[in-house]
Amino acid sequence: MVFLAPYTQVVEELKVKLRGMRSQYEIESSHSPIELVTGRVKPVSSILDKARRKNIPHDQIEEEMQDIAGVRVVCQFVDDIYSIASMLRARHDFDILEEKDYIKNKKNSGYRSYHVIVRYPVATIHGEKHVIAEIQIRTLAMNFWATNEHSLNYKYAGQIPENIQTRLKRAAEAAFRLDEEMAKIKDEVQEAQWIFHQYKSNANKKGGHA
């Protein structure tokens, strides 16, 4: 599809850029806030469905539909999400239009995720074009839940029966508790590392072996 070519290009470039950040952390052997990067361009049929559902005229799709180009960054801890968001803010190769924090303000369905909407200048064979793309940042637990909700939504055509919605919410709460428990462990890990470094530098002052 000619119309989607710049979106495909933006997804490819963002994937290479974000995976590159993960590689750089790995080369420097430090904890990478980025665990996994995936991307996709919304299929034409889904674009048209959404335009109909949300009453978006065809000539406003490019401006109004922000998730045609979508990149997903998955991480281990909730704190990592905010590190990645600041890394994105520090870049100069695209502008951030909007940030949506569905972690502090989770959706009714139970959906949690951090969305960064960017305007990305991409060189095409007809000159530069500015394309809107959505970067979703999530923990593994949020992603697990969202993937399941997404396939149920697809199967029920957006009308998930109430009793299943209730179960999904319970699952979302369990996923949320997982993230919370993991966050506490992260603190302990960092405290443990801090203590260890303290010990080493004290030992050095006293002339001991490190």
- Between residues 67 and 149, which has the closer beta carbon with respect to a second copy? 149
Binding mask 97-126 for a second copy (x = CB under 8 A): ------------------------x-xxx-
Residues 134-153 binding a second copy (CB under 8 A) are 140-141, 143-145, 147-148, 151-152
DSSP bridge pairs for 136: 72, 115
Torsion from C-alpha of 122, 127, 128, 130, nearest 10 degrees: -90
Tokens of residue 77, six digits: 């801890």
Strands of the sheet containing 114-124, edge to edge, are 36-41, 69-75, 127-139, 114-124, 95-101
E strand residue ranges, 19-86: 36-41, 69-75
Count of residues in contact with a second copy, rule CB under 8 A: 59
Which of 7, 13, 118, 133: binder of a second copy (CB under 8 A)? Answer: 13
What gap in Å lies between CA 41 and CA 70, rounded to an integer? 6
- How far is the CA of 114 from the CAs of 77, 82, 98, in angstroms? 13, 9, 11
Q: Name which of residues 20 to 39 contact a second copy (CB under 8 A).
A: 20-21, 23-25, 27-28, 31, 35
> Cα–Cα distance between 65 and 44 in angstroms, integer?
12
Minimum separation from the CB atom of position 190 to a second copy (A) = 10
Dihedral sign computed on CA atoms, order 153, 155, 160, 164: negative
Least spacing, CB of residue 142 vs a second copy, in Å: 10
Is 35 labeled as catalytic in the residue annotation? no
Tell me which of 7, 9, 132, 135 binds a second copy, using CB under 8 A.
Answer: 9
Residues assigned a catalytic role: 134
Q: Note the residues at the interface with a second copy (CB under 8 A).
A: 1-2, 5, 8-9, 12-13, 16-17, 20-21, 23-25, 27-28, 31, 35, 76, 87, 90-93, 121, 123-125, 127-128, 140-141, 143-145, 147-148, 151-152, 155-156, 161, 164, 167-168, 170-171, 174-175, 177-178, 181-182, 184-185, 188-189, 192-193
